[in-house]
A and B are shown apart, each in its own frame.
Chain A
Amino acid sequence: MDRHKTTEAMSEAELARLLSRVQAGDSEAWGELYRNYAPAIFRFCRRVLPTREDSEDATTEVFMKVRQKLGTYDSSRPFTAWLYKVASNHCWDTLRRRRIRQDLETGDLDTLPLEHPDPGQLEQLQAEHTSKEVRTGLAKLPDRARMALVLRYYADMSYEEIADTLGVRRQFVGVLLLRARHQLRDALSGGGDPQKFLSGRKI
């Protein structure tokens, strides 16, 4: 998975030079960095936050934090990973502030179906729905489920990073992702309110 969803491909050396210029206070370098990465961060926010306006606000606020925290960035790590980490923390904080989190923290497997899903039905579901419909379905999911899917399959974060962002145990991330997949399948197949998963489902 390519983590570098930027407008212009940039080599590691170029990026390193750019970042050092930004850290030296070069406003043109900051502008170039912003132009390169703002669209990707906007799309990330768009998939996580409920409205386009929220995503625009979040994009500018994320970059404000980036500018403040750039001194703490460890250059041995990929810059995009750090950037998505800042963005995901910001978006998760935003969602958390807005509502009392309703997701259950428990990672018990008994809240998941214990039967294998029908692979045929799964393939049919994938064939029947466009990318846009998937994103629409995603928007219907509870915050944490949506965040988990986006962090994993858009931002390409590791399980450790997802656990750190969402404040859950690393062992729970797999369960969280699978539960989110189930909720998305249900949302797309018109199987009712995805919120019903919050109370757990046992077969």
Chain B
Amino acid sequence: MNSLDSGPEKHFDEVTALLYLERQLELDQAREFAEHLVSCNACSTLLRALEKESIWLREALSTDAESIPARVIAAPERTNAHWGWIAAFGLCAAGGYTLWNGFIGPAMSGASEAGFGQDSVLMTLFFSGAFWRGWDAMRSLTEFLAMATLGALAIWLLRKQWKRFTAIAFVMGAMICTLAMPQSAAAADIERGNPSYTLPAGQEVKTDLIVWATRARIDGDVDGDLIVWSQNVTVNGHIKGDILGAAQELRVNGPVDGNVRAWVQTLTINNSVAKNVLAMTGVTYEDERATIGGTLTVLAGTMEVSGHVTGDLLALVGDLTVNGSLGRDALVRGGQFTVGPNAQIAGKTRYIGDHQPDISPSAKLGSPVEITYKKRGPDYSRWDYYWHQIMLWGASFIFGLVLLFAVPAFFASAENSANRFGPAIGFGALFLFATPIVAAIVCATIVGLGVGIAALLLYLICLYASQVFIASWLGHKIINAGVGFGPAIGRLALGLAILRVLRMLPYVGWLVTLVMIMWGLGALVLALHRAMRPQAVPA
């Protein structure tokens, strides 16, 4: 026990007073201190002050102003929430019905009216599209899903045994699964240019050919698909499968028995393509000697069609000139549309845009051009724009409800993760830009297209889901109305409405959307990371 000499008076120090207060002094020390208190006003006052401070501290620490997170309290409710699942499925069905009747049905109907039947549009975009390679890919996808299900089951069964090594085990397991899977691309001939690659004329590659090079020149034949990443690609040989290309410039001078799928700056087609062409380009030029056996689908800045297209033309372009022949319909959406004097369009021609099309009187058209003027960007003067926004809000709200009822704890976790603005934005940006790149690489190299497609579909779902978590976070910041499903639904509805309004703003709406997606995607990633860690919720 310590004492202080303060002039003529002697006092005990603060530690001794605290120990006395908390009954931690030895008996004789406590007695001495108690005797001192009788005669010392200063020490008595100190003791009372410390006692009040103890009470003050206990009260401050015991006060519960903060709500208990759903992740902590909601998880045990899951076993009793069968009604939640029923409601979720009901809402899902209602959402699907709304989505079909509100968007897909009218869109299909419109496309059909424009001459694009389900066979041509859906088959072109999905089943004959850039990533579809037939049932082999589907088999890979099925195998992947089966493996993923087995993996998830194994993780669930072993979760109690795995602690801090869970993440490592998960990654290692995934790698083993990946290596164990059938590799559809393993049969391909892979060539890396140094810096250029040339397949000499007269040579034939008897399988798929995959090429990375600064410049690639394919003078020989390929009895399979040609998959190429290069600055400059010239194909003079005969390609008996598809061409999948990512390049600055791609020139197709030789015949192609399959499809051409290209993501290039400039695409030139000078020969026959037996099936479809799907391209995202700056400039697309189809020479007058060229023929396309199927549908030509192009997203381009500038495009000229001078050859023959047996199927439909589907174009979203800044400037399109058609001076060749189309065997079926043309649906053009964009800026300038010119129909030259040599043009022949057997089916219907429909144009949606903000310019008057330039139609040569010499052009031979199956029917008059159907023109729909539409200003670029949102048309705030039209009521159906606002109706469309309300429907979009409704669709996102239903999607959010399904998530909320199906995975309440995960939903709350993702909403909480949105509080970590910096990490969420950072991870969101990373996954937003990296995922499609990785998926595209996976499509062509390691595991096969099935995995790539699954990853891209999941990616799109995550992008859409990002708004839900940010909306809920926003609603929480504004109304913060208690816990449970009722307030959570209210917060979600309010947040989505605010986000929808912000996204409608001219000039900054796109920025709001971008930030929202990055932020929400990052929150989702953080929540997924947390969910993969061991949980102690009751069974």
Separation in Å of the B134 CB from the closest CB of chain A? 45
**Distance of A34 Cα from B68 Cα, bound (Å):** 13
- B538 located at the interface, meaning its Cβ lies under 8 Å from any Cβ of chain A in the complex: yes
Query: Quick one: CB contact mask for A55-82 with B, threshold 8 Å, 1 for yes?
Result: 0110111111111000000000000000
- B297 located at the interface, meaning its Cβ lies under 8 Å from any Cβ of chain A in the complex: no
Residue of chain A at shortest CB distance from B57: A153
> Which residues of A from 6 to 47 have beta carbons under 8 Å from B?
27, 30-31, 33-35, 38-39, 42-43, 46-47
Interface-centre pick from B52, B66, B536 (highest chain A CB count, 10 A) = B536
- B2 located at the interface, meaning its Cβ lies under 8 Å from any Cβ of chain A in the complex: yes
> Which residues of A from 116 to 174 have beta carbons under 8 Å from B?
116-117, 119, 122-123, 126, 131-132, 134-135, 138, 149-150, 153-154, 159, 173-174
Query: A57 contacts B538, CB within 8 Å?
Result: no
Interface-centre pick from A150, A153, A175 (highest chain B CB count, 10 A) = A153
Contact of A126 among B46, B52, B68 (CB under 8 A): B52
Q: Which residues of A contact B537 (CB under 8 A)?
A: 34, 60, 63
Query: B530 contacts A53, CB within 8 Å?
Result: yes
Query: A53 contacts B417, CB within 8 Å?
Result: yes
- B49 located at the interface, meaning its Cβ lies under 8 Å from any Cβ of chain A in the complex: yes
Separation in Å of the A181 CB from the closest CB of chain B? 7
**Distance of A18 Cα from B136 Cα, bound (Å):** 55
Query: B76 contacts A35, CB within 8 Å?
Result: yes
Q: Which residues of A contact B46 (CB under 8 A)?
A: 116-117, 119
**Distance of A60 Cα from B64 Cα, bound (Å):** 20
Query: A174 contacts B15, CB within 8 Å?
Result: yes
Query: B18 contacts A178, CB within 8 Å?
Result: yes
Q: Which residues of A contact B71 (CB under 8 A)?
A: 56, 60
Q: A117-B46, A181-B53 are in contact. Are A1 and B72 (CB under 8 A)?
A: no
Interface of B: prevailing SS: helix
Query: B66 contacts A46, CB within 8 Å?
Result: yes
**Distance of A114 Cα from B537 Cα, bound (Å):** 49
Query: B72 contacts A39, CB within 8 Å?
Result: yes
Query: B52 contacts A123, CB within 8 Å?
Result: yes
Contact of B49 among A33, A119, A154 (CB under 8 A): A119
Query: A38 contacts B2, CB within 8 Å?
Result: no
Q: A42-B72, A109-B15 are in contact. Are A154 and B535 (CB under 8 A)?
A: no
Q: Which residues of B contact A112 (CB under 8 A)?
A: 13-15
**Distance of A8 Cα from B371 Cα, bound (Å):** 70
Query: B11 contacts A154, CB within 8 Å?
Result: no
- B434 located at the interface, meaning its Cβ lies under 8 Å from any Cβ of chain A in the complex: no
Query: B61 contacts A39, CB within 8 Å?
Result: no
Query: A63 contacts B536, CB within 8 Å?
Result: yes
Q: Which residues of A contact B56 (CB under 8 A)?
A: 126, 134
- B63 located at the interface, meaning its Cβ lies under 8 Å from any Cβ of chain A in the complex: yes
- B149 located at the interface, meaning its Cβ lies under 8 Å from any Cβ of chain A in the complex: no
Q: Which residues of B contact A42 (CB under 8 A)?
A: 68-69, 72
- A52 located at the interface, meaning its Cβ lies under 8 Å from any Cβ of chain B in the complex: yes
**Distance of A177 Cα from B57 Cα, bound (Å):** 12
**Distance of A60 Cα from B46 Cα, bound (Å):** 42
Query: Quick one: CB contact mask for B399-419 with A, threshold 8 Å, 1 for yes?
Result: 000000000000001001101
Query: A53 contacts B420, CB within 8 Å?
Result: yes
**Distance of A1 Cα from B534 Cα, bound (Å):** 33
> Which residues of B from 491 to 539 have beta carbons under 8 Å from A?
530, 533-539
Residue of chain B at shortest CB distance from A42: B72
Query: B68 contacts A39, CB within 8 Å?
Result: yes
Query: B2 contacts A109, CB within 8 Å?
Result: yes
Query: A177 contacts B18, CB within 8 Å?
Result: yes
**Distance of A62 Cα from B48 Cα, bound (Å):** 37
- A5 located at the interface, meaning its Cβ lies under 8 Å from any Cβ of chain B in the complex: yes
- B24 located at the interface, meaning its Cβ lies under 8 Å from any Cβ of chain A in the complex: yes
Q: Which residues of A contact B14 (CB under 8 A)?
A: 112-113, 116-117, 178
**Distance of A134 Cα from B59 Cα, bound (Å):** 10
Query: A153 contacts B79, CB within 8 Å?
Result: no
**Distance of A59 Cα from B61 Cα, bound (Å):** 18
Query: A109 contacts B13, CB within 8 Å?
Result: yes
Query: B536 contacts A174, CB within 8 Å?
Result: no
**Could you list 18 examples of A-B contacts with CB < 8 Å?**
A31-B79, A31-B538, A34-B76, A38-B68, A39-B68, A52-B416, A52-B419, A57-B533, A59-B72, A109-B15, A117-B46, A123-B49, A131-B65, A134-B57, A173-B24, A174-B15, A178-B14, A181-B57
**A42-B68, A42-B69 provided; 4 other pairs, C-beta below 8 A?**
A30-B538, A109-B15, A116-B4, A116-B43
B residues near A, CB below 8 A? Answer: 2, 4, 11, 13-15, 18-19, 22, 24, 42-43, 45-46, 48-49, 52-54, 56-66, 68-69, 71-73, 76, 79, 413, 416-417, 419-420, 530, 533-539
Give 10 closest A-B pairs by Cβ, nearest first.
A64-B536, A134-B60, A119-B49, A63-B536, A31-B538, A131-B60, A154-B61, A131-B63, A60-B536, A27-B539
